[in-house]
Amino acid sequence: MILNSMLLIVGAVCIYLGAEGLVWGGSRLASHLRVAPIVIGLSVVAFGTSMPEFSVSLYSVLHDVPDIAVGNIIGSNIANVALILAASAVIFPVAANYSRLRNDILIVIGVTVLFIGLSLDGELNRSDGIILLAGILLYIYRLIKTPLLSPESITVSPGKRPVHFIMALLLGLVVLLIGAQIFTNSAVTIARFFDVPELVIGATIVAIGTSIPELATSMIAAFRKHSGIVLGNILGSNVFNLMAVMGIVPLIKPIQIPANAVLIQMPLMLALTIILLPMIRFQGGVRRSAGIILLGVYAVFTVYMYRWGGR
């Protein structure tokens, strides 16, 4: 117990340091490449922070527990909006340009609808995986074609070369993922020591644990007032979770979709994505009050999963 408690602290420290490096390197690299920070958030940061979801989902499917794989992805996407974006907004309101973000949000909504549609037959097979992977390739192509920033909007760190930013970003990502793994494993072990039911562990610790990189990165970005990285990380991570993770895993082994996921969790995931459109349009971002409401939604969802989610 003492060892796991110490590892829990070590994991938390690694998460903080990794997130600092990821945000610092990502924001500086975006400036140097003359692209908006949200592009780095939508691509490099989002892909990197989605790696825990990929590893857990792949492991779960290969070990014949597909419910964990599906629940992990859907739960992570719900947590990205209702927990991570919400918590970031409570720390510092997340500003956003509606005209610039509208298409990105519509893409996430479209991807979510596509994923739900492919899941209605109760399975994600190899054909579904190919469709999702084709979608992520188109998404990456669109990001590559994103217009560059004008020279006057660029801020440069004196004496720093691009390699420094790239190394900080990659090192931060590695430390972040290692910290998330240590933190999650220690938390699961401690929970089992106190006889917390496996269902509760899976619905809370595993889902939130694989979202720790997004949480840490977004929280640090919120403190640094990098709203573009916060929103880009959330939106991009949701796209990568649904199209890259759930595109690759079915190619290895088809995934059975639980009926409860289609009836309850997927509609909530879609609703939380859709609500971002009017929120950003009429509020200019995610205000602190909206963050508090979203956190309340996540608390209700967690209680529901604890009491009735497994039925």
State the residue range of the domain holding 141.
39-149+196-307
Q: Is 215 helix (H, G, I), strand (E, B) or coil?
A: helix
| Cα–Cα distance measured from residue 308 to residue 311, given in angstroms and rounded to the nearest whole number | 6
In this structure, is residue 1 part of a structural domain? no
The pLDDT of residue 191 is: 67
In-domain check, residue 74: yes
d(CA 56, CA 260): 20
| CATH code of the domain in which 214 resides | 1.20.1420.30
Most distant CA atoms of the chain, gap in Å: 59
The amino acid present at 104, given as its one-letter code, is D
- Res 128: pLDDT: 95
Report pLDDT for 228: 72
| Residue 206 token pair | 């595993």
Distances (CA, A) of 195 to 192, 233, 261: 5, 35, 26
Give pLDDT, residue 296: 96
CB 53 within 8 A of CB 241: yes
Residue 102 falls within a domain, yes or no? yes
Within a domain: 268: yes
Whether residue 172 is contained in a domain is answered as no
pLDDT attached to residue 150: 40
| Tens digit of each residue's pLDDT, the chain (311 residues) | 788 778 878 877 786 677 677 667 766 776 676 666 666 666 666 776 677 777 777 777 777 767 777 887 888 899 989 998 998 889 888 888 888 888 889 999 999 999 999 999 989 999 999 999 999 888 888 877 765 544 434 444 455 677 877 888 788 878 877 876 777 677 667 766 777 654 556 556 667 777 777 777 777 777 777 777 778 778 888 998 899 889 998 998 898 888 878 888 899 999 999 999 999 999 888 999 999 999 999 999 888 877 765 55
Is 80 domain-assigned? yes
- On whether residue 191 sits in a domain, the answer given is no
Q: How many CB atoms lie within 10 A of CB 60?
A: 21
Predicted pLDDT at 151:
42
Per-residue pLDDT at 58? 76
**Distance (Å, whole) CA 10 – CA 298:** 27
In this prediction, residue 173 carries a pLDDT of 76
Please tell me the predicted confidence (pLDDT) of residue 155: 47
Residue 91 lies in a domain: yes
Collapsing DSSP to helix, strand or coil, 256 comes out as: strand
Looking at the structure of the chain, the number of domains it has is 1
